[in-house]
Structure formats: structure tokens, C-alpha cells
Amino acid sequence: MAGYPLTFYPAVSRTGVAVATVIALGSAPVFTGLLGWLSRQGRPDGRWAGATALAVLGCALLVLGPELAGGGGSVDPQGVLLAALSGLSYALYSLIGGRLIAHGHPSGGVMGAMFGGGALIVLPVLVAGDPGWLASPRGAGVVLHLAVVTTFLAYWLFGRGLRHTTAQTATTLTLAEPAVAAVLGVAALGERLPAVSWCGLAVLAGGLAVLALPARR
């Protein structure tokens, strides 16, 4: 949990929000499947592999659509590496959390311990910088939103989800995040998506549907 923000946000500053998001979110399910297999937490089946490949492709087309349509610029290699490391951090967090919850530990306690420990590790980074922005109304509002909505509520739900599904499946399902953000941007903010992004949204939805629907016996 400490490794994710220390790699993802520098990746954003180097290679942009879209590219960093696609690499981090897209690599996390792949890392989770491979690491879960290596650690004997279950070998991913062909259905998961196919659904994940579709979802990652759709996510890439959706998020990178505006840049592809407008001929985006070059990508910073170090930013790409940092984004991939953040995906690896997310995969490790999901596997460890899922393993602990599967062994009977309460999901709330597992999430609290992991995030609390991660916060203590990252705290020196905040102290070493300039924390003055926290005193401004805008800064305090951003911190409150990040703490309550994007961290507490989101990962409390994620932890409860890990009680009923594998870490491999859970990390693939989180690829719905950019799809929801894109739809909200269009519906609430009047944003426009190019055709390639809409195609990516359809591919992403198809991949998630394959994963979510009950398997045939």
C-alpha cells in the first residue's frame, strides 16, 4: 500500500494521467494472476485470461482514445516503469489481503491494518515535503474526499468483495473504474469521447460480462 502512491503519482507526473492509469490498472490483473499462480493460490483459467485480455484492451482504448484520436505525444519510459510498479504493488496488496481474509480474518481489520501500516511508511514523505497546502480549504477538502470516499469506502467494499471472490477476479473487475469515470464525465460534465473510446468501452464491458456471468457446466 505504501508502494502504490509512491510509484503511481510520480508516473502520472511523467507520462500523464491516461497512460499511467492504463498501465497501472491494466498490469495489476496480469500481475495478480501470475503471482497467484506462482504462490499456489490458484491457477487462472482460460475464461479469466480471455476476459482479462478483453478488459485490458478495452480499458486502453477507452482511456487512450482521446490521445490516439489527436495523435498523442511521446511516452516517458521511466513513467511507464513506475506505473507498472504501482500495478505490481496493487497486485501484491490484493493477493496478501485476499489470503488473510480467506484464512478467516475480518476484512475490515485486514484493510485497516494494511492501510494503517502503509500510511505510517509514507508519512515521512509528507513531512519531508511542504504540508502547508493541507491548511487551505481546497487542500483539506481534497484530503477528506481521498480519505473517506476513494480510500475508506472503496477499499472497505473491496475487502468485503475479497471474501467472496479471488484476488485475480477482483483486480480484473476493478477495470470498470475508468469506464464509470468516462460515463460520468459524459453524463454529468458534458465531455465528449471519440469513437475509439466508445469502442473501448464496449470491449471492456464485454470482458467484464464474460468474467461476471456464471460459468457454464
Task: Tell me what pLDDT residue 48 has.
Answer: 80
Average pLDDT over every residue of 18-34:
82
CA 171 distance to own-chain centroid: 7
**pLDDT tens, position by position, 137-146:** 999 999 899 8
Residue 104 lies in a domain: yes
Residue 44 has pLDDT above 80, yes or no: no
Considering the entire predicted model, what is its pTM? 0.76
Residue 217 lies in a domain: no
**pLDDT tens, position by position, 66-123:** 777 765 555 688 988 998 999 999 999 888 988 898 888 998 899 889 989 998 999 8
- Range 50-63 burial, b when 16+ CB lie within 10 A, else e: ebbebbbbbbbbbb
CA 26 distance to own-chain centroid: 8
**pLDDT tens, position by position, 149-208:** 988 898 888 888 888 888 888 888 888 887 887 787 788 777 787 888 888 888 888 888
Number of domains in the chain: 1
Angle at 109 between CA 103 and CA 113, to 5 degrees: 105
Domain hosting residue 58, numbered range? 3-212
Average pLDDT over every residue of 32-47:
78
CA 217/CA 206 separation, integer angstroms: 20
Residue 187 lies in a domain: yes
CA 110/CA 35 separation, integer angstroms: 20
Residue 193 lies in a domain: yes
Residue 15 lies in a domain: yes
Cβ-contact 171, 88 below 8 angstroms: no
